[in-house]
Amino acid sequence: MRDFWEQRYSEAGWAYGTEPNEFLRSQGRFIHAGQSALVIGDGEGRNGVWLAQQGMRVLSVDYSSAGLKKARALAAAKGARIETEHADLGSWNWPTNRFDLIVSIFVHFAPVLRRHVHQSMVAALKDQGTIILEAFTPQQVKHTSGGPRDPVMLYSIDDLREDFSAARVELLEESEVHLEEGKYHRGTGAVVRVIIHKK
């Protein structure tokens, strides 16, 4: 899979655009200047850079070096600062009690890894910290707007409720949305949107 992302981010242009994800953008009440944010699977950096533009201290982690190179270029172009770390989230030495906000936008893993990453996200939050996540659901196989084609990589509400059972769920909702994110997320998408707080 890593090769797939290297290849995609080596193409000219921006795979998912340079503007932040709409669901993330709508969650301003959790975005506070001076606080710390971890953005997992940040790819070309559209979400991490936008959070940095809001004044957050951002760490973007991804295993694609081509993606992170573009993320740093995007930050420089927008006059923002982000820290980047090149790591596989499956074997990353996850910090604990460190971030006010953790963001995961369309980052898909197979079930065992998904559970490990999601539980590690909760552990990496400070008390009262927040997770914002958007991902494709199994209904996405009906659509052509992007996302994994393999159903085991898609996330149901039940999967996520179980992964985040140690935290407090504020929002866990499936919906159909219109995506217009760069060249690879376009059209109707079946998504699950999640807001979680560390108890």
Distance, CA of 100 to CA of 127 (rounded, Å) = 8
Residue with tokens 């006010």: 100
Does residue 145 belong to the site contacting ligand SAM (CB under 6 A)? no
Distance, CA of 184 to CA of 159 (rounded, Å) = 25
Binding mask 103-122 for ligand SAM (x = CB under 6 A): --xxx---------------
Q: Judged by CB, which is closer to ligand SAM: 25, or 168? A: 25
Residue with tokens 């690879």: 184
Does residue 74 belong to the site contacting ligand SAM (CB under 6 A)? no
Find the shortest distance in angstroms from Cβ 127 to ligand SAM.
Answer: 26
The residues facing 152 across adjacent strands are: none
Residue nearest to ligand SAM (CB): 41
Q: Judged by CB, which is closer to ligand SAM: 191, or 196? A: 191
Does residue 71 belong to the site contacting ligand SAM (CB under 6 A)? no
Distance, CA of 4 to CA of 63 (rounded, Å) = 11
- The CA–CA distances, whole Å, from 176 to 7, 136, 180, 187, 190 equal 29, 10, 13, 10, 5
Amino acid of residue 148 = P
Does residue 88 belong to the site contacting ligand SAM (CB under 6 A)? yes
DSSP-derived secondary structure for 92-141: ----SS-EEEEEEES----HHHHHHHHHHHHHHEEEEEEEEEEEE-GGGG
Does residue 150 belong to the site contacting ligand SAM (CB under 6 A)? no
* Near ligand SAM by CB under 6 A: residue from 21, 60, 84, 120: 21
Find the shortest distance in angstroms from Cβ 5 to ligand SAM.
Answer: 4
Q: Judged by CB, which is closer to ligand SAM: 149, or 199? A: 149
Q: Judged by CB, which is closer to ligand SAM: 30, or 127? A: 30
Does residue 100 belong to the site contacting ligand SAM (CB under 6 A)? no
* Near ligand SAM by CB under 6 A: residue from 31, 37, 89, 124: 89
